[in-house]
Structure 1
């Protein structure tokens, strides 16, 4: 269980520092429409993540029916993380805060659900979270149900907490998001993702080497 908790914290922190359209949307909505709108938006994002995790784990159950291949699944999952990290580092589209001003919301105080739905669908139609959660759920398909619940609950809790902080610190974060800082953070995220893949794959290989 401790292993699941640690991995959940690690995944949550990785997503927290990842640079993408979500963080820019959080800042813009929080600054333009207030903190309540920001809270509604991140609630939608979190609900979408929960749905993607649920769907990913449904797919992972298929993997559990072939647990004799769990080592292969772990290695493949780790390699996918490595590929995603390397691709993001060298070929990923660099984040640009100034180009992310395409959100137009007909704001009404009584209609906070609009921001929740916006957060949900922006996250849903962003291919990054879908690929990330599918890969993660598949990689950890060898865990039992309780361990997976703990892992993904911890991840979602960390992500929601850090998004909550982003809403409250939107003005300060915006000043910090200069092009050089964005480029560094983008590369750091890619390197961390690659490192996660290396750790996952190498741990499976090492475990089998020792047992052999």
Structure 2
């Protein structure tokens, strides 16, 4: 079951539309597939840092069962809010945002992915929601928790590389309409995850 839950959450996260998504596509189109892979690696490491921050930020509360219900509700609210934001994004015209990172050399693309993913406070908030869902609703801990997030990160990394590859091959399909559809799918899925946490804590 941990594999299925990790796979589902990873797929939802993989199509989450934001600055990172556009940076990945833009890098692949303008600089090539190999550079986009480096950006994806940077995004991966940034998420790993935030997952650890989310865990250690919640760990002292998770051990105390009297906080579990409130953590569950908070996680549900976070996921629902992200879902609503995603649905609102689907109504706006999507544009690729150009961002630059002033670092030279081989590692600049890894740094670019790391920084652009890391500068958004919503990334940490999102992982806090995911962490509360994993620990409170699913009851994961120790190796199972590591496996859950490991599966999510593997799915995200694979799909990021796939996005970078397809960005050049299927450039004509990357349209505002596609982004609108993806935003709706992600929004509905995140709201469903959030509501499920409320039902679990009811």
Residues 175-206 of structure 1, C-alpha deviations (whole Å, 9 max, x = no match):
2222222222212211111011112221343x
Q: Aligned pair in 2 of structure 1 residues 112, 73: CA closer, same or farther (>3 Å)?
A: same
Per-residue deviation, residues 49-98 of structure 1 (Å, max 9, x unmatched): 0000011110121222212332342233223312331243237884623x
* CA distance in 2: counterparts of 1:189 and 1:15, whole angstroms: 8
Contact 1:26/1:42 (<8 A) preserved: yes
Asked if the contact 2:75–2:128 (Cα under 8 Å) also holds between the matched residues in 1, the reply is: no
- Post-superposition, which runs of at least 4 consecutive aligned residues in structure 1 deviate over 4 A? 104-107
Match of 1:203, SS? helix
Equivalent in the alignment of 1:184: 181
TM-score with structure 1 setting the length: 0.83
How many residue pairs are counted as aligned between the two chains?
Answer: 199
- When residues 151 and 95 of structure 1 are mapped into structure 2, their CA distance, relative to the original with a 3 A threshold, is farther
2:115 corresponds to: 121
Unaligned ranges ≥5, structure 1: 206-212
Q: How does 1:1-212 map to 2 (within 5 A)?
A: 2=1, 4-90=2-88, 94=92, 96-97=94-95, 99-103=96-100, 111-142=105-136, 143-205=140-202
Q: Distance in 2 between matches of 1:176 and 1:34?
A: 18
Say which one has the larger Rg: 1
Structure 2 residue runs without a partner (length 5+): none
Q: TM-score, normalised by structure 2?
A: 0.87
Shift of 1:137: 1.4
C-alpha distance in structure 1 between counterparts of 2:174 and 2:57, whole Å: 37
* Residues in 2 aligned to 1:106 and 1:141: alpha-carbon distance in whole angstroms: 38
